[in-house]
Structure 1
Amino acid sequence: MTKQLQDAYIVAATRTPIGKSGRGMFKNTRPDDLLVRVLQSALAQVPNLDPKLIEDAIVGCSFPEAEQGSNLARMAVLLAGLPKTVGGITVNRFCASGISAIAMAADRIRVGESDVMIAAGAESMSMVPMMGHHPSMNMGIFKDENIGMAYGMGLTAEKVAQQWNISREAQDAFALQSHQRAIAAQNAGYFDAETTSVEIIERIPNLATGQIELKTRTVSRDEGARPDTSLEGLAKLRPVFANKGSVTAGNSSQTSDGAGAVILVSEKILKLFNLTPLARFASFAVRGVPPEIMGIGPKEAIPAACRAAGITQDQIDWFELNEAFAAQSLAVVQDLGLDPAKVNPMGGAIALGHPLGATGAIRSATTIHALHRNNLKYGMVTMCVGTGMGAAGIFERM
């Protein structure tokens, strides 16, 4: 007997502000603490929901080691004070880890195995660098047929820029627009509803007294967007991945720190606790592409996600297309004929930052709240993924 799938609904969605890695506001803040903050905030958005009904927490993280190792998900569940009956599993699909966590949680509900799930993502690129602390690659990836897997992300962006004829000028213009849109959205307060503030405690040595002084401040605003960005300034930056290339630090995503979380429930839980859904998780798709042009991944995932949701691409009102690089974002927009006005209307990772495994959950919170604020129906979160993949998830406003 075939069992009919049920819908999975999002009843809470939030994220931390995004900090710059290295010297940013979260440089000394552990990723599990950022995750704890959004888990507690998401639960506070649905006070009627009995947390004992939460079965599992699925958390995305691109490099789950060191401060974000030891099964980050379960650790954060316990630190957040959730019932000890709530499980936790950490998953990794690089940049698509956060949206994959949401899709996995939704699937558990859709097949009837769970009624309440948490999905999240967290990453500290200040504490755990790209590739982790001790990368160890299989030598087989350096064989001719596999060499694309060995390319750095920047080099794959150069390959996309060459193959899709994306000029340096077009990349810089796209980067400038990302900053301008992000600054405008911040000034208008558009990120406020989706953002959970974080209290930062700094320990400062007082050399005169020999004591450690505690300084506390609360942050609630992404720190990556720059109002002084200009085409002239971007044009002065040198290519960083290829000698005569076009990909620069200015038209690439920022390395960042942050976390995001959503709570998903079944229709039975909606009725039982009289909850108002923010959105329905409509579909998810992942597709592989050649690793050397990994940035083009959303070109394959977007149509697949639309087919799975039973809608057309034109019905998507809001695209959060992760700006790993301006070159790959422009190539995807160009190939699929996306409406530029619908793509990252409040800026993207070039301005706001890209905390790898957290990005999918963060941009999902952005999409869900944007659909409500603008009275739109369908929103999509999509991104390219290292080693040659694209992922896309669709949300329907309720």
Structure 2
Amino acid sequence: MSDAYIVSAVRTPVARAFKGGFRNFRPDDLLAHALKAALAEVPELDPARVEDVIVGCAMPEAEQGMNVARIGLLLAGMPDNVPGVTVNRFCSSGLQTIAMAADRIRLGEADVMIAAGTETMTMVPMMGHKVAMNPRAFSDENVAIAYGMGITAEKVASEWNVSREDQDQFAYRSHQKAAAAIDAGEFTEIRPVTVTSRVPDPRTGQVREVQTVVDTDEGPRRDTTPEALGKLRTVFDAKGTVTAGTSSQMSDGAGALILVSERVLKELNLKPLAVFRGFSVAGVRPEVMGIGPIEAIPKVCKQTGIGTADLDWIELNEAFAAQALAVMRTVELDPDKVNPLGGAIALGHPLGATGAILAAKLIHGLQRRQQRYGMVTMCIGTGMGAAGIFERL
């Protein structure tokens, strides 16, 4: 059985939804950019050899519909013989694609795979454009709560005793770490995107095209303080503790990774960045969906024989400060190893793209710091958790 080697891992910057640099940029175009950038990292590889492109998307409808994977790869100029499939496990979709691509290689069914994720919350917001939930499911209060993500965070904060002050401090540190990482040039996995916008002249009405380059994550707020965060009103429960400042940002972005078998690695004399060691998912009570990693992390550690103490870097998606802190405390994760460059509270969470984005961020970070093991983990809407382990080579 061949290992699945990652030879390319890139992402776009993450832009703020609705008012950021990608507000007029389609998700299939974002995906195409990520795919082209990933392939450009491996010029020795003929794109026609890619046996499938698996793309994660949490809301695959409208601009993200019609099998966005296939549309995106064609927009990227990939050959017609390359197929594509879109998968959805909500917030872990981009990590799920890596696991699925790796499994194809490890089983000997494929030699070259692309795993990716794309999401533009500007164009397709949370829950999509037409919400049509099954009323029988909503007759269970705990299942219904799962669709109000903020309420699940309030329940986690209450059950796991995560204080408002701790949440505010966590959010503050996320912004500080992200800003410092940008200043230090840490995000080497980012590939800039040129956006062309049509802008009317307010006096003449004449429309002209304006090009801008988006090359930096837009979310971090350098001037935020614990005091400012502490003054924000709670948004999900008047008597609760969760605020907009301690919640992940709505965002637009994409990421892509290329995985190959050992045979292709040797044939093309490619330099691997990492190998994918294992992946696990787990279900939890829907009303406390944020604790999903508490169940998924031990499963993947047992599967791989790599314990949490062995991990050098952990990318824990910060859906909410409350759930991130609950996970860290319960699984006893070293805070110094968790999100050293900031997390989703500062950098954003483009849903189905997040897994691929965090994997690219992690892999490049392990390379820069010459560290060995890293994990990407996140909670998942409706009550699940996912975790994947990578080893730098």
The TM-score by the shorter chain falls in which range?
Answer: over 0.9
Q: Partner of 1:6 in structure 2?
A: 2
- Percent identity between matched residues is 63
Letter in 2 for 1:196: R
Q: Partner of 1:226 in structure 2?
A: 221
| Kept in 1: contact 2:199–2:209 (CA 8 A) | yes
C-alpha deviation, 1:307, in angstroms: 1.4
| Kept in 1: contact 2:113–2:260 (CA 8 A) | yes
1:24-65 CA deviation, whole Å, 9 max, x = no partner?
111111011111001000000000012111010000000000
Whole-Å separation in 2 of the counterparts to 1:144 and 1:204: 49
Whole-Å separation in 1 of the counterparts to 2:141 and 2:230: 36
Whole-Å separation in 1 of the counterparts to 2:201 and 2:287: 51
Matches within 5 A, 1:62-73: 62-73=58-69
Match of 2:100 among 86, 100, 104: 104
Match of 1:51 among 47, 60, 66: 47
Aligned-partner SS, 1:96: helix
CA RMSD of aligned residues (A): 1.0
Whole-Å separation in 2 of the counterparts to 1:102 and 1:149: 30
1:51-110 CA deviation, whole Å, 9 max, x = no partner?
111010000000000111100000011111111111000000000000001100110101
Q: Partner of 2:56 in structure 1?
A: 60
Letter in 2 for 1:386: G
Matched, 1:360 2:386: no
Whole-Å separation in 2 of the counterparts to 1:241 and 1:367: 32
| Kept in 1: contact 2:142–2:287 (CA 8 A) | no
Consecutive unaligned residues of structure 1, counting only runs of 5 or more, are none
Aligned-partner SS, 1:28: coil
Letter in 1 for 2:12: T
Consecutive unaligned residues of structure 2, counting only runs of 5 or more, are none
Q: Partner of 1:180 in structure 2?
A: 176
Matches within 5 A, 1:295-374: 295-374=290-369
1:168-217 CA deviation, whole Å, 9 max, x = no partner?
000000000000000000000000x2001000111111244442111111
Q: How many residues align?
A: 393
Aligned-partner SS, 1:95: helix
Q: Partner of 2:236 in structure 1?
A: 241
Letter in 2 for 1:361: A
Q: Partner of 1:196 in structure 2?
A: 191
Matches within 5 A, 1:145-160: 147-148=143-144, 150-160=146-156
Match of 2:255 among 244, 251, 260: 260
Letter in 1 for 2:378: M
| Kept in 2: contact 1:141–1:149 (CA 8 A) | no
| Kept in 2: contact 1:141–1:150 (CA 8 A) | no
Letter in 2 for 1:104: M
C-alpha deviation, 1:149, in angstroms: 5.3
Whole-Å separation in 2 of the counterparts to 1:150 and 1:160: 12
Aligned-partner SS, 2:244: coil
Q: Partner of 2:33 in structure 1?
A: 37
Runs (4 or more) in structure 1 with deviation over 6 Å come to none
C-alpha deviation, 1:247, in angstroms: 0.3
Aligned-partner SS, 1:10: strand
Letter in 2 for 1:225: P
C-alpha deviation, 1:306, in angstroms: 1.2
TM-score (norm 2): 0.98
